[in-house]
Amino acid sequence: MSVFIWLHRVFSPQKEDSCAPVVGILFLGFPFIPASNLFFRVGFVVAERVLYMPSMGYCILVTYGLGRLCSTAAGWCATLLKGSMLLLLLLFSWKTVQQNTVWLSREALFRSGIQTLPHNAKVHYNYANFLKDNGRQDEAVYHYNTALRLYPRHASALNNLGTLTNSLETAEHYYRKALDINPQHNRALFNLGNLLRTQGKDKEAEALLKNSIRYGPHFADAFSSLASLYADQERFVEAKEVYIKGIKNCPDSSDLHNNYGVFLVNTGEGELAAAHYQRAIQLKPAHYVAMANLGRLLRASNENDEAESWFKRALQIARKVDVLTPLGALYYNTGRFYEALQVYREAAALQPRSTDILLALAQVLVMTSHSTEAEKMTQDIISREAGCIECYRLLSAIYSKRGNHTEAVQALDRALQQNPADLTVRAELHFSRGNQLREMQQLDEALEGDYATARTYYQQALLLNPTSKLLKENLAKLDRLEKKTSGAT
């Protein structure tokens, strides 16, 4: 705009407007006053956005002054003035193009700030935040430390350093130091509360999380952590109250809705959880965790087709183990073994050391006639984890399928040697051992030993869980088998 004003004034003989210098001075001075630190401290670096309107006043004054000079000068002086101004415009244009590269990306902008103001703590802190968000932790730590060297009372830098360190003691030191500077720093309160919770210091953790909510009433993560703490302590009423209050204060938090849904499922109110999972997905369409949780909930209600669609939708966003494994279980339990095999192989490739995933894959391999591969995989698991009871049970099933009942019994004996604490598991192991003995025609040993022991454990387990339909069905199955076996002898 100022260029056109200048061209108009330089190349037209019209009389100058005496209001121009006043307007220029007003544009130059008044917009800059809020950022000048003259009357009050604003706390930020003077930036291009702050200088935009003052620069308009500067341009008006320059064009006004140049117009006055050109109107009084004549001959080569006027030509020199006009040529100089054109050269200046070209130089400024080149500088503008060069400066525009600073705005190509966030990183370029932050780097420019550090180059321009290397002794400013805030620009180092902002760049460190960018690096942390992009997984460049070592560089982030360097710039957080630089910010603290320049301004040792930077509580947020201390808090963020705590989140980046691998040492719990060092993290606690940073969080406490941040709180010494600012006792109301809600994120430091939150982080320290969670850290102490992992150390079993629940009372102090509870107080810190409450203060985090107090000073950050719209901080959804603090509500989730405090509610989770209460749930772990079986203070379910208080946990529910915290979730409800959190959703009221933070209605747009997708994670809070998802976490509340998980809580409802765990406390037997699964019918209410679906609405919160769906709300989480509505708020964040890429929330694959909520999709997987909704799929699990539908799977528990035998709504397999809808559950499968949610699992697949989640996988379109992220090929994560937490989504692959429940989908694999759905395929396995509905007899779609080859689809389960494909899913579990992908999950095992993502976590090749996970015992649960490898064991599930081995079970699917058995069902798809790959028993040799399943046996090798199970033996590999046992070589790393000798106490894997489910591994011995699977080996027993593999050997039994081949007709190697002696090896099947030996595998079950090794499982029983692990002394499983779950009475139902003990009963099932003895029951399976009795079946193997029956196949080996050792009926007396089966009746007098393993079947009788299995009955004892089933009955003890039923006393602890009298409503268990599975335990009652297993006892009834044992009754039928014993009668059948007694008749055969």
Q: The domain that contains 311 carries what CATH number?
A: 1.25.40.10
Helices (H) and strands (E) in the chain, counts: 27, 0
CA distance 341 to 367: 9
Query: Model confidence over 403-446: pLDDT tens digits?
Result: 898 899 899 889 989 988 888 888 888 878 877 877 777 666 65
Q: Is the pLDDT of residue 2 over 70?
A: no
Residue written as token pair 């933070």: 250
Choose from 101-105, 132-136, 454-458, 485-489 the range with maximum mean pLDDT. 132-136
Any idea which of 81-95, 150-164, 212-226, 464-478 has the lowest mean pLDDT?
A: 464-478
Q: Is the pLDDT of residue 20 over 90?
A: no
Residue 128 covered by a domain:
no
Q: Exposure string (b/e) for 250-274, b if CB count within 10 Å is 16 or more?
A: beebbbbbbbbbbbbbebeeeeebb
- Cβ pair 163, 191 in contact under 8 A: yes
Residue 386 covered by a domain:
no
Looking at residue 228, its pLDDT comes to: 95
Query: How many CA atoms, within 13 angstroms, populate the side-chain half-sphere of residue 423?
Result: 13
Residue 136 covered by a domain:
no
* Assigned token pair, 41: 């401290």
Residue 259 covered by a domain:
yes
Residue 425 covered by a domain:
no
* Assigned token pair, 206: 């509870």
- As a whole number, mean pLDDT of residues 279-307 equals 96
In one-letter notation, the amino acid at residue 234 is: E
Residue 461 covered by a domain:
no
Q: Is the pLDDT of residue 483 over 80?
A: no
Q: List CB contacts of 483: < 8 A, sequence separation 6 or more.
A: none
Residue 309: exposure state from Cβ atoms within 10 A (0-12, 13-18, ≥19): middle
Residue 438 covered by a domain:
no
Q: Quick one: pLDDT band at residue 13, thresholds 50, 70, 90?
A: very low
Please give the tally of structural domains in the chain.
2
Looking at residue 12, its pLDDT comes to: 46
Q: How far is CA 412 from the centre of its chain?
A: 41
- As a whole number, mean pLDDT of residues 368-378 equals 94
Of 169, 235, 157, nearest to 198 by C-alpha is 169
Q: Quick one: pLDDT band at residue 86, thresholds 50, 70, 90?
A: confident
- As a whole number, mean pLDDT of residues 297-320 equals 95
CA distance 174 to 410: 55
Query: Model confidence over 207-250: pLDDT tens digits?
Result: 999 999 999 999 999 999 999 999 999 999 999 999 999 999 99
DSSP structure string for 335-382: T-HHHHHHHHHHHHHH-TT-HHHHHHHHHHHHHTT-HHHHHHHHHHHH
Residue written as token pair 């669609």: 309
CA distance 163 to 188: 9
Distances (CA, A) of 462 to 63, 389, 455, 471, 483: 95, 22, 10, 6, 21
Q: Report the alpha-carbon angle 139-142-144, nearest 5.
A: 110
* Assigned token pair, 229: 């703490």
Looking at residue 133, its pLDDT comes to: 92
The domain in which residue 296 lies consists of 252-318
In one-letter notation, the amino acid at residue 277 is: Y
Domain termination residue (choose one: 277, 296, 318): 318
Q: What is the mean pLDDT of the chain?
A: 87
Q: Is the pLDDT of residue 265 over 70?
A: yes
Looking at residue 292, its pLDDT comes to: 96
Looking at residue 444, its pLDDT comes to: 61
Q: Is the pLDDT of residue 9 over 70?
A: no
Distances (CA, A) of 200 to 179, 204, 206, 207, 243: 21, 9, 11, 14, 22
Q: List CB contacts of 363: < 8 A, sequence separation 6 or more.
A: 332, 374, 394
Looking at residue 252, its pLDDT comes to: 95
Residue 137: exposure state from Cβ atoms within 10 A (0-12, 13-18, ≥19): middle
Alpha helices in 101-232 (DSSP H): 106-116, 121-133, 137-150, 155-164, 168-181, 186-198, 202-215, 220-232
Choose from 35-44, 265-274, 305-314, 432-441 the range with maximum mean pLDDT. 305-314
- As a whole number, mean pLDDT of residues 458-481 equals 78
Query: Model confidence over 23-80: pLDDT tens digits?
Result: 778 877 777 777 777 776 766 656 667 777 888 888 888 888 877 777 777 677 777 8
Looking at residue 10, its pLDDT comes to: 47
Long-range contacts of 265-274, Cβ-Cβ distance < 8 Å, separation of 24 or more: 265/293, 265/297, 266/231, 267/231, 267/236, 267/240, 270/297, 270/300, 273/297, 274/298
Q: Quick one: pLDDT band at residue 4, thresholds 50, 70, 90?
A: very low
Query: Model confidence over 121-174: pLDDT tens digits?
Result: 999 999 999 999 999 999 999 999 999 999 999 999 999 999 999 899 999 999
Looking at residue 296, its pLDDT comes to: 96
Looking at residue 318, its pLDDT comes to: 95
- As a whole number, mean pLDDT of residues 450-464 equals 78
Residue 208 covered by a domain:
no
- As a whole number, mean pLDDT of residues 75-98 equals 83
DSSP structure string for 118-154: TT-HHHHHHHHHHHHHTT-HHHHHHHHHHHHHH-TT-
- Cβ pair 351, 321 in contact under 8 A: yes
Q: Is the pLDDT of residue 462 over 90?
A: no
Q: Is the pTM of this model over 0.85?
A: no
Domain termination residue (choose one: 284, 303, 318): 318
CA distance 292 to 309: 10
Any idea which of 6-10, 118-122, 324-328, 440-444 has the lowest mean pLDDT?
A: 6-10
Looking at residue 105, what DSSP letter applies?
Answer: S
CA distance 145 to 134: 18
Domain termination residue (choose one: 318, 336, 370): 318
